[in-house]
Structure 1
């Protein structure tokens, strides 16, 4: 196995550690998986290959949130609070983000 040394700024390093912790993976395992995705043998471009799926998910969730918000604003707020908590736990939302 080849050893790779890379310099990262502190903020990027912290964000990557949060993502690794959220995935319940050791940091080195998480980084190797990210690099494997970047070198996908199928040749897909990792930065845009999931855009269509992501866009569909965002549209669907927006429709659901709008519907719930019209019926029960309290339920929507409770669901958004729970979603933010889960995103933070998985390293997908900055822990400093309060809204």
Structure 2
């Protein structure tokens, strides 16, 4: 069996040790099921600090999209096309995922306008 070493602050370690003691388990026995849950493909989502940042980004996006839509629908279309292109360039959006999500592939002209 492999060993996993992680650094945690003293207060967290103390709380974990107390919870494990209360369950009559070692800290390893107490944490192992939690780690197994996090590693199960298709299992419960393991929330991280990045989720908070993503939540803020999504809220900001929704607000900006609404403001842009009030100004001009063309702005929203161009922004969506540009964002899809950036996601594809970074390997974060595959063509089949794009088709499955209902997004229309859009090519950009020289001025960055959707065609």
TM-score (norm 2): 0.45
d(CA) in 2 for partners of 1:40 and 1:69? 50
Structure number with higher relative contact order (C-alpha < 8 Å, ≥ 6 residues apart): 1
Displacement of 1:49 after TM fit? Answer: 2.3
**What RMSD in Å do the two structures reach over aligned CA positions?**
2.5
Structure 2 residues not aligned, in runs of 5+:
9-37, 39-45, 104-115
Q: For the structure 1 residues 71 and 91, does the alpha-carbon distance in structure 2 shift closer, same or farther, using more than 3 Å as the test? A: same
Displacement of 1:94 after TM fit? Answer: 1.8
2:71 aligns with: 71
d(CA) in 2 for partners of 1:84 and 1:61? 14
1:86 aligns with: 86
Q: Number of matched residues?
A: 60
Structure 1 residues not aligned, in runs of 5+:
1-38
- The higher radius of gyration belongs to 2
